[in-house]
Structure 1
Amino acid sequence: MPVFRIGETELDYSLRRSPTAKKASLTVTPQSFELLVPQDATESQIEAVLHRRRAWILETARHMKTRAKAQVRVYGFVTGAKIPYRGRMTKLTIEPFDGSLVEVSYRSGFLIRKPAHLTPDSADAVIESALRLWLKRRVRDDAREFVRRHGESQGPKPLGIQIKDQKHMWGSCGQDRQINLNWHLIFAPKPVLEYAVVHEMCHLRYRNHDPEFWQLVGSILPDWETRKAWLDQNEHMLGWEKLEPHNAS
């Protein structure tokens, strides 16, 4: 992968040409970025984009790296551990029982029942997997409810919803009228998830962020700016990083 140097910083980057792209766009991660350009973009045009956006690329990568360091860390899925859920840190309670599958429920906190025969090491991975699945189902159900509430009467209605594990975007809208949502939105307050759903629904009508797009968003959610601001300021809360305890040698 090529390396792009900005001062003392080196970032891996990839170049992707698209026959449907009308202009260049950038996707940045803490360690790399992708430049998407129209199929017929020349080398000089590509170099011009990189030069013009170099400061923005560097600032965005640094910002994302800082956010990543602030992410919630979980050492084990045990009673007393906390994870974010709908904008709040929420406690886990783990109970053994005679069943064969992990059961997850929520009532002012997560109650997770695990098969009694599981060893502590194996239980941790199984609980995390079951919890992820439960959370993905919640965000799917919430998103479907928001589509029922706002579709057609106020905004375009998608043909379907897909919940994905997207690394660096909260949602996207396909030409097939499917909207894709990042399952990590379940960690945000419900109104923020609603904003993300409405945002992608409005892209069914406007495939850009021109004033008409934001006018449509505002006609559905007058306080969309407050919801978007929460998402921008608290993205580090939207997920967890599983860490293994370090033992002194």
Structure 2
Amino acid sequence: MVISNPAFSYQIRRSQRATQTRIIVTPGKVEVVAPIKVAEHKIHQFVQDKQQWIIQALAKIAAKSQLHNKLAPAVYGHGAEIPYQGASYKLAVRPTKLKRIKIEFCQEFVAHVPDALIIKDHSAEIKEALIRWMKKESKSQVERLVKQHAEKKQLFPQTIKIKTQKSRWGSCGIHNDININWLLIIAPPEVLEYVVVHELCHIKVRNHSVHFWALVAEHLPDYQNRRQWLKKHGSSLMMGL
């Protein structure tokens, strides 16, 4: 059963397992799961009481979805918008005699696509090539940032690795090995710098104490703004290309 009101529509689903009425909000959909014996008018009243929360939840999900759409194009073809360093750049596709897709960047991304691929759907191959390019660029930029910040407090990592991680932006191992998520190359440069400095500071302070944050602030006095950006946009950034 789908019920409509001025703010949103919702569907009621009866469940023998349910012990209490609850609301599930997903993109464009509101579902109310209720026990078998709960009167329908009580369900409607429950939704009415939770109306403001539902509206806010729908808006939050829509905003995340919109941001993700901006980050990742549906198709990696000529004219697509590619996210990079907090901005969006056009993708140009050009044929080449090379046997493998080559990516170049200079105010726009250029994918040099082999003649054999240019005549068919090459979106997946371009995406893979862009990811390879961004991982390589991430390594270069992270190494530059480490060189910039490490000497100040003698925070020298043993190794630097660029990784694909589903739930972490970075880590510092017990042997001072620094791992950085390549997806940070999509974020503004100052956000990548924050994560690098964050992990470098863990070489000296292994926890998140006041002493740790003071050390971060010595390198980046405005680190809180950068950290807040990552908290706000991190879930969409983590979806990747």
Q: Compute the TM-score of the two structures, normalised by the length of structure 1.
A: 0.67
Shift of 1:237: 5.0
Which structure has the larger Rg over C-alpha atoms? 2
Richer in helix (by share): 2
**Residue type of the alignment partner of 1:162:** K
Residue 85 of structure 2 corresponds to 86
When residues 240 and 168 of structure 1 are mapped into structure 2, their CA distance, relative to the original with a 3 A threshold, is closer
Q: Compute the TM-score of the two structures, normalised by the length of structure 2.
A: 0.69
When residues 103 and 212 of structure 1 are mapped into structure 2, their CA distance, relative to the original with a 3 A threshold, is same
Q: CA separation in 2, counterparts of 1:209 and 1:100?
A: 49
Q: CA separation in 2, counterparts of 1:85 and 1:9?
A: 37
Residue 37 of structure 1 corresponds to none
Kindly indicate whether the alpha-carbon contact (under 8 Å) linking 2:170 and 2:181 is maintained by their aligned counterparts in 1: yes
Residue 148 of structure 2 corresponds to 149
Q: CA separation in 2, counterparts of 1:6 and 1:130?
A: 50
Shift of 1:69: 3.2
Q: How far does the alpha carbon of each residue in 1:60-88 deviate from its partner, in whole angstroms, 9 at most, with x for none?
A: xx89x937634234221111111210001
Residue 233 of structure 1 corresponds to 232
Choose 146-155 or 68-77, whichever is displaced more: 68-77
Shift of 1:100: 0.8
Q: How far does the alpha carbon of each residue in 1:177-231 deviate from its partner, in whole angstroms, 9 at most, with x for none?
A: 1011111000011111111100000011111111000000000111111211222
Shift of 1:241: 6.2
Kindly indicate whether the alpha-carbon contact (under 8 Å) linking 1:187 and 1:239 is maintained by their aligned counterparts in 2: no
When residues 238 and 83 of structure 1 are mapped into structure 2, their CA distance, relative to the original with a 3 A threshold, is farther
When residues 240 and 166 of structure 1 are mapped into structure 2, their CA distance, relative to the original with a 3 A threshold, is closer
Residue 56 of structure 1 corresponds to none
When residues 239 and 132 of structure 1 are mapped into structure 2, their CA distance, relative to the original with a 3 A threshold, is farther
Give aligned pairs, total. 186
Q: CA separation in 1, counterparts of 2:21 and 2:204?
A: 41
**Residue type of the alignment partner of 1:226:** N
Q: Which has the higher contact order (CA 8 A, sep 6+)?
A: 1
Residue 104 of structure 1 corresponds to 103
Q: CA separation in 1, counterparts of 2:236 and 2:93?
A: 22
Q: CA separation in 2, counterparts of 1:7 and 1:161?
A: 50
Gaps of 5+ in 1: 11-61, 243-249
Q: Decide which of 46, 62, 69 is 2:65's aligned counterpart.
A: 69
Q: How far does the alpha carbon of each residue in 1:154-173 deviate from its partner, in whole angstroms, 9 at most, with x for none?
A: 35111111111111111111
